[in-house]
Chains A and B, each alone.
Chain A
Amino acid sequence: MTPRQRRMWGVGLVLFGAGVATALALQAFRENILYFYTPSQIESGEAPVARAFRIGGLVVPGSVHREPGDIDMSFVLTDNAHTVTVAYSKILPDLFREGQGIIARGRLGEDGVFSAEEVLAKHDENYMPPELAEALENTSHPGQSN
């Protein structure tokens, strides 16, 4: 083996080792890298219900309730399998609307209602002008899945 081939193997092995180590570390910390849990994961007991965590899902159309003259509101999140009711009383992001993907941070109460301290809107990867969105809405459902 020439010195150059030795160096080639050296660089390759270092990269391989770093890759394996990183893959193992990411696998070990998988839970912590997940940014949010879905309503189904809460149902199946995968979510850390003892502490504050984030849940993500789509706002069920027609489920947004506001008390008149009050900032308190509630809405239902779904992942098209299970649902969770979320209560919230702060300012909503611009993209919050029915059918939109939402991530809420807070705690799950005894009554099964998730009381959120923070609500973030999740955008999907689709961009289009309003006319096209309307046309798609009329033919089929636009890509609202996350």
Chain B
Amino acid sequence: MKFLPKFVHRLASPPHFYRLAERWTPWLGLVAIVLILAGAYGGLVIAPVDYQMGDGFRIIYVHVPSAWLSLLVYMVMASAAAVGLIWRIKLAHAVAASCAPVGAWFTFLALATGAIWGKPMWGAWWVWDARLTSELVLLFLYLGYIALHGAIDERTRADRAAGLLAVVGVVNVPIIHYSVEWWTTLHQPASITKMGSPSIRDPAMLIPLLIMSIGFMVYFAAVLAIRVRGEVLEREWHKRWVSEILGDT
């Protein structure tokens, strides 16, 4: 454990983390609401229509942030699982287990809003191209984590087995990202991950997308904070600090 800096140790202490998360959740929630509302207003009202898709392009403001978050949450989940596996930190497994349902919902949103966008523009709700298929695999990885974790009674073993699945599944993340470059797909290539020259040139179009994406990230942090607190209570219920906290409220 000596590699880890001191503040990590403190953060990894469940009672400390529990109180910290409790204090931060309302603020995270507030910031998320403000950013998401601002992003939605920018995307629906301020942004001009697209030269090809007209108003239909506004679906980008929910589709792209959901898709980004589906990948970001997976990376957080897999990193937490790896830390839990290697350093045997229980809180890390609690974080991984809390990420899974949230990530699954973001993946569902990315797929569903993509289908709603694809129908009028491409002419199909769904196609089996590499991008859509690999994103569907991501949903199954999340569901696989949840199912495997739920199927094993003893929590330590459930954490390790599901955590290993999460780590192995990281392989899918670059596949999703590069699918539009490695293979021919119906899905278009990335618009704004290209450093320096995003393909959305109008700031009135781009800025709401960035605000919305940051809003989704803060929202994720808030929901994660609530879930991890629940997860910690499930795991630490026999500890004295839990009864102290629950007795207080």
Direct contact of A and B (CB under 8 A): yes
Q: Which of B198-248 contact A (CB under 8 A)?
A: 199-202, 204-205
Contact between B56 and A94, CB atoms less than 8 A apart? yes
Q: What separation, in Å, do the CA atoms of A125 and B200 have in the docked complex?
A: 8
Contacts of B199 in A (CB 8 A): 124-127, 143
Contact between A127 and B186, CB atoms less than 8 A apart? no
- Residues A7 and B184 in contact in the complex (CB < 8 Å), given A14-B167, A125-B189, A133-B51: no
Contact between B183 and A123, CB atoms less than 8 A apart? no
Is A103 positioned at the interface, with any CB of B under 8 Å from its CB?
Answer: yes
Contact between B202 and A132, CB atoms less than 8 A apart? yes
Contact between B121 and A94, CB atoms less than 8 A apart? yes
Contact-residue bracket for chain A: 35 or more
Is B11 positioned at the interface, with any CB of A under 8 Å from its CB?
Answer: no
> Which secondary structure characterizes the binding site on chain B?
loop
Contact-residue bracket for chain B: 35 or more
B-to-A contact residues, CB < 8 Å? 1, 48-53, 56-57, 60, 82, 85-88, 120-124, 127-130, 164, 167-168, 170-171, 175, 183-186, 188-191, 199-202, 204-205
> 23 pairs across A/B with beta carbons < 8 Å?
A7-B86, A14-B164, A14-B168, A15-B168, A33-B130, A35-B128, A35-B129, A35-B185, A93-B123, A94-B123, A96-B123, A120-B122, A121-B121, A124-B188, A125-B199, A126-B191, A126-B201, A128-B50, A129-B202, A132-B201, A133-B51, A143-B199, A146-B188
Q: 15 extra interchain contacts, Cβ-Cβ under 8 A, other than A11-B164, A22-B175?
A: A14-B167, A15-B170, A30-B183, A38-B184, A91-B123, A118-B123, A123-B52, A123-B53, A123-B122, A127-B50, A128-B205, A129-B205, A130-B51, A132-B51, A146-B188
A-to-B contact residues, CB < 8 Å? 4, 7-8, 11, 14-15, 18-19, 22, 26, 30, 33-38, 56, 91-96, 100, 103, 118-134, 143, 146
